[in-house]
Amino acid sequence: MSELWTEKYRPSKLSEIVGQLSFVLDAEHWVTSGNMPNVLFYGVAGTGKTAASVALVNELLGDNKHGNFFEINASDDRKLETVRTKIKEIASTKVIGDAPFKIILLDEMDGMTRDAQNALKRVMERYADNCRFIITCNERHKIIHPLQSRCANYQFKRVNPDSMLDIFTKILSEEGVKQYSEDELKRFITYLQGDLRRGINELQASSSSNRSLENQIDRSLEPYSKIMKMINENDYDNALEKVHKLIYDSTDMKTICINLHDIILKMDSSQQSKFKMLRVVGEAEWRSSNMTPKVLASWMIGQMI
């Protein structure tokens, strides 16, 4: 079975991380000094938060990584009991070998309950000499302020188109794939809106199935086409359910709005109807940085009635 390209080409060193210069410069200083603060990485999916975490751990702990690095998906282990038992036990036990401290990566922390986050705050304080935490999330407002203030905060921005083109070109060259023109790749990158991980996954899917990138994009936009079809048929409850499912599956509202925008532009409907929906989607995208995604989705669908 062929290896996933997202794993095969995941950066293993800080120097391989693309588009997050502020973090990389600070992290290189931490490696030189042999110390680091607790850190919080936030930003949309696919921008390299988890990959950057692992690259930092590789360089800080080196050969002492085994037994001193623990990765926990906080959206799966989201309960208070996880912090009181599993995380506290890891943080309190002695470091193995010559590592300066243990490192716990709490991935997708915005899925952890507030009670669990409050308990984590106390664990971070109590075992500060023995353990460091790396927290990742898509939406920083879901992390309680006491945790945010105990971490160095880094926003992971969408990867710019030129960097994505360089990465895709390198991967395709390594894989011996020659079926895409530069113009086709550029159109594909525009559609991705900076989601590098998604781009690599879809590039591999397109290459393995010998499908054009345009067809691959159409397949990816299918859920959004269904949502707009339901809205046009006045099936608002199911349309909202579909949007909520996308959010539950970690699609951020900005991405949802951008994809709905592309579908609306292609719709065969009156100008009045089309531009009403574009106004609603545009306002929803603007509100996405300040409103809870689930509530914003309900507002957006309600405005289309």
Q: Is the pLDDT of residue 241 over 90?
A: yes
Identify the residue with better confidence: 35 or 252.
35
Return the pLDDT at 13.
Answer: 92
Q: What is the pLDDT of residues 39-98, one digit of tens each?
A: 999 988 888 999 999 999 999 999 999 999 999 876 555 667 777 778 899 999 999 999
Segments of the chain assigned to CATH 1.20.272? 222-303
Segments of the chain assigned to CATH 3.40.50.300? 5-155
Q: Measuring CA to CA, which residue among 47, 59, 250 is closest to residue 163? A: 47
Q: What is the pLDDT of residues 127-169, one digit of tens each?
A: 999 999 999 998 888 899 999 999 999 999 888 899 999 999 9
Q: Is the pLDDT of residue 1 over 60?
A: no
**Region 224-229: what's the mean pLDDT?**
95
Return the pLDDT at 296.
Answer: 94
**Region 97-112: what's the mean pLDDT?**
90
CA distance 241 to 145: 30
CATH classification (class only), 5-155 = alpha beta
**Region 293-299: what's the mean pLDDT?**
93
Q: Is the pLDDT of residue 304 over 70?
A: yes
Segments of the chain assigned to CATH 1.10.8? 161-220
Return the pLDDT at 142.
Answer: 86
CA distance 41 to 52: 9
124 and 133 Cβ atoms separated by less than 8 Å: yes
Q: Using 50, 70 and 90 to split pLDDT, how confident is the model at 100?
A: very high
CA distance 201 to 301: 30
Return the pLDDT at 172.
Answer: 93
Write down the CATH number for the domain with range 161-220: 1.10.8
Return the pLDDT at 240.
Answer: 96
Q: Using 50, 70 and 90 to split pLDDT, how confident is the model at 170?
A: very high
CA distance 244 to 295: 9
Residues in contact with 171: Cβ distance below 8 Å, sequence separation at least 6, in sequence order: 5, 9, 200, 203
Backbone angles phi, psi at 136, to 5 degrees: -120, 145
- Strand segments, DSSP code E, in 138-281 are 152-155
Return the pLDDT at 78.
Answer: 60
Q: In whole numbers, what is the pLDDT of the chain averaged over residues?
A: 89
Return the pLDDT at 75.
Answer: 59
Q: Using 50, 70 and 90 to split pLDDT, how confident is the model at 171?
A: very high
Question: What is the chain's length?
Answer: 305
> Token pair of 218, please?
């159409």
Topology, domain 222-303: Zinc Finger, Delta Prime; domain 3 (1.20.272)
Whether the CA torsion 26, 28, 31, 33 is positive or negative: it is negative
Return the pLDDT at 190.
Answer: 85
Q: What is the pLDDT of residues 174-192, one digit of tens each?
A: 999 888 888 989 988 988 8
CA distance 56 to 226: 41
- Strand segments, DSSP code E, in the chain are 39-42, 69-73, 102-107, 131-137, 152-155
CA distance 120 to 143: 11
- pTM equals 0.75
Q: What is the number of other CB atoms lying within 10 angstroms of the CB of residue 50?
A: 18
Sheet holding 152-155, edge to edge: 69-73, 102-107, 131-137, 39-42, 152-155
Q: What is the number of other CB atoms lying within 10 angstroms of the CB of residue 45?
A: 17
144 and 92 Cβ atoms separated by less than 8 Å: no
Return the pLDDT at 79.
Answer: 63
